[in-house]
Amino acid sequence: MMRLKSERHHWWPRCVSKHWADSKGFVHRITPDGTSIRVPPAQLGMIGNGHHIKLGRNPADSTPWDTSFEREFDLADSTFPSVITWLNNLQIKKMLGRELRARFVPQPSTDDQLKTLTECVVSLAVRSPRNREAAVSVAENLRGKLPSHERNALIGLNMRQSQRIISDSIGSRAKFCVLFSSGKEFIYGDGLFDNVAGSVNPPHSPKIIAPITPMISVIISRPTSYSPEPRLSTFVLSDEEVQNCNHAIQVYSKGALFYRSEKPILIDAFTNGQHLIYSHPDNPMDTLIEGIPGISPRNRSLDFLLD
């Protein structure tokens, strides 16, 4: 029986985190207590054996059913560099001050380009610590704190199909928007604005907003109904709008934020040390998504039920 070799698995792929390095080659990592350190990007977002599934009763035990799903992310990791180059070369127009929907600039794209973009962005959401916690949350709510080896096995068993299930269900059939900052930098975190965390079936109306570099984020959204064209748009954000995106990262993150040179002011949603979500659809991220041409405004007739 072959034994799984111990490996370092990255939930923030190195081909992405390297774009967050400052002029001295370091990324800043800040925790909820306000502690900030500088770390080489290759050392960030790392979990030992994070994508292994070991089913033994003890951490040292091996079984014939032990396996790894690290290869699920090979396509994303191999294509991320070319995707980032493509995103950087998209046409943008700075139209601050105009009506939201008028600021989106349609872009040409192929099915293959959009499928590859989906593969990469979904991999960030699937590998994130937020999704790992969602994968075991039901069991922990029912049984309380689990032994670490059992907890890790449950996480792996629930995560192993997620990349394929979510990526393949979206493919190129969604609305895509590439967000460019006009000045202020995006931050990254151990949680993203998305509704696919914990998915074991194809998500009904998936949406993800993921920072890719300090100057670029990507929206993928497939609402219940939408006009398919334009499939891809670009949008230049004001500093205030970038701050709204960074606020969402703090809300959805729990243990760590990352930045290149602009240290964020921590908010209560992050310092309380929990992965939270926006409780009301009237939030800046959903408002931004609803502004994409081809997506209908949200029906607000039942909003009184949310108040």
Q: Which residue has the higher pLDDT, 129 or 296?
A: 129
200 or 106, higher pLDDT: 106
Residues 6+ apart with CB under 8 A from 260: 20, 21, 22, 27, 28, 185, 214
Which residue in the block uniquely carries the two structure tokens 């070991």? Answer: 54
The pLDDT-based confidence of 202 (bands split at 50, 70, 90) is very high
At 1, the pLDDT band (50, 70, 90 cuts) reads very low
Q: Do strands 105-107 and 232-237 pair parallel, antiparallel, or not at all (unpaired)?
A: antiparallel
Is residue 298 a contact partner of residue 289, using CB atoms and an 8 Å limit?
no
Distance CA 239, CA 243 (A): 6
Contacts of 156 (CB under 8 A, 6+ apart): 51, 52, 53, 54, 69
Mean pLDDT of 24-39: 97
Q: Could you read off the pLDDT of 41-97 as tens digits, one per residue?
A: 999 999 888 888 888 777 667 788 888 888 999 999 999 999 999 999 999 999 998
Is-contact 114 90, C-beta < 8 A? Answer: no
Domains in the chain: boundaries: 8-293
Residue 143 pLDDT class (50, 70, 90 cuts): confident
